[in-house]
Amino acid sequence: MDWPQVIYNEEVMREGFGIEDVAIPLAAKVELLEALSETGIRRITVGAFVSPKFVPQMACFEDLLKTFRPRPGVTYLPFLHNQKARALALQYAPPLTVEDEWLTLFVDICDVHQRRNVNRSIAQIMAGWPAAIDDARRRGVTRARIGIASAWGSNFMGRFSQDYRFGFLERQVELLDAAGLSVAEIGLHDSQSFCLPHEMEADLARIRQRWPAVRQFHLHMHDARGMALPSIYAALRSLGPEHTLILEGTLGGIGGGQFGGNGRASAMAPTEDLMHMLEGMGIETGVDLDRVIDCVWMVEKIIGRPAYGHVSKAGPRPRRPAEYYDPNMPGIESLAAARHFRLGPAAWAGEGTSPWSQPITGPYHPPH
């Protein structure tokens, strides 16, 4: 099958640590960011210029930018939510990359979550769009992206219909078309983990029919109910090689929103699980999965608990004889012992029993 081009953006430094302990040392963040830069992941959002009053976890962001050692070939991105943030980011470029400017129209279509998250209603957000469009035109911006958050539903308001979410997309496109700006990207954010795979398929089919000129899509999938990867898979199946799919996730799947009601359980698509899936599907990532797993283990040490991903615990599927499990290893019970896929027999030392009396051998070898 011909898959879309996939662009992956790692969000652990912002989305992940943005809801974790405010006391995580700067040195630990620097160590992780530098290790993450060696995994082959080419795009990393490293933080946001936001008030420490509201997001104290980002209080050391500028110190991080002054301290870490950037790796050539890696794009380090800030989260830019307004022109003030963009101006600050330009002061740190490099190491930051401030990409070509787009006009972004974006709204959380759950009015409760919109108010809880940024203290502004849907109506207030939409009322600011004409001024944002006028400002972009004055500055010569010609490309636009649109997006909606809580796209499929809300813990406060229930499931949203397709017509409801498309009404917001239609409104954004109409405003931009009238202003002479071309819409080049559509974003769907599952802020409250309501998406199911068949809904993703139906929405992308309708978008492609309604706006066939749009070739770039952006998915930001939370994983409170375990549907992030299945929904991403549905998106991959729904798009063709002429499309670009921007995906975001975090090491171990950590992260989440403070105002959706699920806290850290909101989670994200785990980077290691997504990379494992993409590679298995024949989609090249350029990522060293072993190094990514090492970074997940660093994250778990930093936050003091297991993360949510699976491949970092059970390992990837063994791909070649050198990776196949020892048929005479003892019974494995703990998560620590399961790390033998990276650490070897030392991981299971002192654990498990071997009930067989003779070494397990046999003539049965599957075809390769």
Domains of the chain plus CATH, in order, are 5-314 (3.20.20.70), 320-351 (no CATH)
H-only helix segments in the chain: 26-36, 61-67, 83-91, 111-118, 122-127, 129-138, 162-179, 197-210, 228-238, 271-280, 289-303, 311-314, 335-338, 340-343
> pLDDT tens digits, residue range 196-255?
999 999 999 999 999 999 999 999 999 999 999 999 999 999 999 999 999 999 999 999
Q: Is the pLDDT assigned to residue 119 strictly greater than 60?
A: yes
Q: Is the pLDDT assigned to residue 6 strictly greater than 80?
A: yes
Q: Quick one: pLDDT band at residue 89, thresholds 50, 70, 90?
A: confident
Q: What is the mean pLDDT of residues 179-184?
A: 95
Query: Which is it for the CA torsion 223, 227, 230, 232, positive or negative?
Result: negative
Q: What span, in angstroms and rounded, lies between the C-alpha atoms of 186 and 164? A: 16
For the chain, helix, strand, coil in percent to 5 are: 45, 15, 40
What pLDDT shows up at residue 368? 56
CB atoms within 10 A of CB 172: 22
For the entire predicted model, the pTM comes to 0.94
For residue 94, give the 3-state DSSP assignment: coil
| 185, β-bridge pairs | 145, 216
Q: What span, in angstroms and rounded, lies between the C-alpha atoms of 24 and 78? A: 20
> pLDDT tens digits, residue range 56-68?
887 788 889 999 9
